[in-house]
Structure 1
Amino acid sequence: MAADEARQFAMGRELPVGGEVIGSLHDEVQELAGLYVNRPLPTILGRLIGAQSTILSLLERRQTPNNARELYFLAAVIAGLLANAANDVSRPELAMTHARTAYLWADYTDHDGLRTWIRGLQSFICFWADRPRDALRYAELGAAPASATTGSATAWLFAGQARAWAALGNAGQAKAFLHKAETAQELARPDEVDNIGGLCTFSHPKYLYYAARALAGLPEEFAAAERFSIEAAEAYADPTQPHWDFTCLADSQISLALARASRGELDGVADSLRPVLALPPEHRIHDLVKTMHLVHRKLNSFDTPVSADLQEHIEVFSETSLRQVLG
């Protein structure tokens, strides 16, 4: 508390911004990007808004070119995190507003890795808004900056395209882009965006999760979807690992349920969904609710007490989600 009070005092003074202030803000943004993937949104939302307010207030003052670039870089990252937050509470239109602002600030920094990451973010938002064609369009817009960067955001673009093609029922394209994503992820060399960490990095476990989610939507690929889902869940099993992400873990377990439902294994579906259904409401973000709806529809193929019970639990899960928590 004392450290936070001192930081707020220093940043609130009408003094020239020096390296210590910029460094403190960078540390704050880096910490928030890491916390985003393993803490409930309500616990960090205030800090996200506060960080953005601080950065924008500093940008209203006269800055050196180097300081201005760094501040716009951090502003773009925070806007990206806020775009994710809006998506998590089922507000895709608000998410896109934050993402467009983030891209504008990324242009001010002339940072291709940041541009690529934000195009991936826009593609991500469109995918969860049931707009796979727009998801493909934004990913394609990211191709130009991606060609000029070495970071993992390029792999995110390809993985997003794989999921979009799967949503459109094109298994060939989905698998082709998964291969491109895997190759790009293996060849990636961390850039300034990757060094932020957390939500700004596309790791190998995240590739496994994307592959599972893409293939789980293709009935003929249930065996591969099950394999990737298990590998992804195992990769996210240890919450002490730096890449741990509760959303990716939960969604991988839902993908496993979808794959098992394709094989008619209702007991396997129940086992896969048990840890997801146990998540507290503040963890039940938009992405998880949407994927659970796919399981609900898949269970329409069965007419048993087990399938009916699972559908009732999914309905309760959806009615007590993060969106309801935040009103």
Structure 2
Amino acid sequence: MAVRRAKEFLLGADRERVGTDTLDLLDDEVQRLVAAYPREPLSAIWDDLLETQEQVFRLLEGGRVRPSQLRDLNVKGAVLSFLVAKGFNDMEVPHQAMTMTRVAAACARDAEHPGLIAFTDGLKSLIAYWSDKPADAYHYASKGAETAAGLQGTVGLWLLGLRARAAAVLGDEETVRTVNRHAASRRERVVHDDLDKLGGLFTYAPEKQLYYSVEAEVLLGHGDA
């Protein structure tokens, strides 16, 4: 209770302009939540996730943000909205997940951050895939892969994995083979970017890439039990 009250005080203290302490506080919260998401039960972080997202939105809407701070806050808004959207999808509420993903995409576009824009297309593909809409999943993954084509981080590899998996469900074996070869080659040229350094769901490890590749093979009918 005391820590929460202190956060509220700090977030409201800069009545005219958002200060460095406020942004540092939000940085800490975003990093904590990104790290916690894959490791802790969703129920343990859900309230904090929604509260921190609300705090960022309140600052963006409040008119107290300097132009130099605007991009940073929009990046935070995109990251937090991505996690909330993933949470809704994990809770099997695809409509709300897709709506929140569009919010994340809007923040990513306002931040002019191609990596986050690509990530939101990837999440749209993921939501469509688990909603039994493989054609939509393929479309969103392809769109995101185009956005990420010139990026050096691992987001582009995730989009390729999503594209191969959707293609496998659609029975497009040639695309699966081509995309997986491209992904394997691209892995050798990866340079971790700001999203990879953020970690959690925002980096795509080699082990996860292997999982997606094998899953696509299984979906084509070439895997054993």
Structure-2 separation of matches of 1:97 and 1:172: 33
CA contact 2:145–2:160 (8 Å) conserved in 1: no
Asked if residue 166 in structure 1 is aligned to residue 165 in structure 2, the reply is no
Specify which of 189, 201, 223 is matched with residue 199 of structure 1.
Answer: 201
Length, aligned pairs only: 223
CA contact 2:134–2:166 (8 Å) conserved in 1: yes
CA contact 2:17–2:66 (8 Å) conserved in 1: no
User: Structure 2: which 5+ runs fail to align?
Assistant: none
Specify which of 184, 187, 199 is matched with residue 182 of structure 1.
Answer: 184
CA contact 1:185–1:203 (8 Å) conserved in 2: no
Structure 2 vs 1, CA of residues 185 and 12 (structure 1 numbering), >3 Å: closer, same or farther? farther
* Structure-2 residue corresponding to 1:213: 215
Structure 2 vs 1, CA of residues 66 and 182 (structure 1 numbering), >3 Å: closer, same or farther? farther
CA contact 2:75–2:107 (8 Å) conserved in 1: yes
Structure-2 separation of matches of 1:176 and 1:166: 12
- The residue type equivalent to 1:6 in the other structure is A
Structure 2 vs 1, CA of residues 180 and 4 (structure 1 numbering), >3 Å: closer, same or farther? farther
Per-residue deviation at 1:68?
Answer: 1.1
**What is the Cα-based RMSD across aligned positions, in Å?**
1.6
CA contact 1:193–1:201 (8 Å) conserved in 2: yes
CA contact 1:185–1:202 (8 Å) conserved in 2: no
Task: Give CA deviations for 1:215-260 in whole Å, capped at 9, x if unaligned.
Answer: 22222x21xxxxxxxxxxxxxxxxxxxxxxxxxxxxxxxxxxxx32
- Superposition pairs for residues 242-257 of structure 1, below 5 Å? none
* Structure-2 residue corresponding to 1:45: 46
* Structure-1 residue corresponding to 2:137: 135
CA contact 1:112–1:148 (8 Å) conserved in 2: no
Asked if residue 25 in structure 1 is aligned to residue 26 in structure 2, the reply is yes
Per-residue deviation at 1:175?
Answer: 2.5
- The residue type equivalent to 1:82 in the other structure is V
Structure-2 separation of matches of 1:104 and 1:156: 21
Structure-2 separation of matches of 1:146 and 1:116: 6
Structure-2 separation of matches of 1:18 and 1:196: 23
Structure-1 separation of matches of 2:2 and 2:187: 41
Specify which of 83, 92, 95 is matched with residue 93 of structure 1.
Answer: 95
Structure-2 separation of matches of 1:139 and 1:124: 8
CA contact 1:79–1:102 (8 Å) conserved in 2: yes
User: Structure 1: which 5+ runs fail to align?
Assistant: 223-258, 261-327
- The residue type equivalent to 1:167 in the other structure is V
- The residue type equivalent to 2:40 in the other structure is R
* Structure-1 residue corresponding to 2:118: 116
Percentage identity across aligned positions? 35
**TM-score relative to the length of structure 2:** 0.92
Larger-gyration structure (1/2): 1
CA contact 1:166–1:174 (8 Å) conserved in 2: yes
CA contact 1:113–1:192 (8 Å) conserved in 2: no
Query: Bigger shift: 185-194 or 200-209?
Result: 185-194
Task: Give CA deviations for 1:164-194 in whole Å, capped at 9, x if unaligned.
Answer: 0111122232232122223333322122222
CA contact 2:74–2:108 (8 Å) conserved in 1: yes
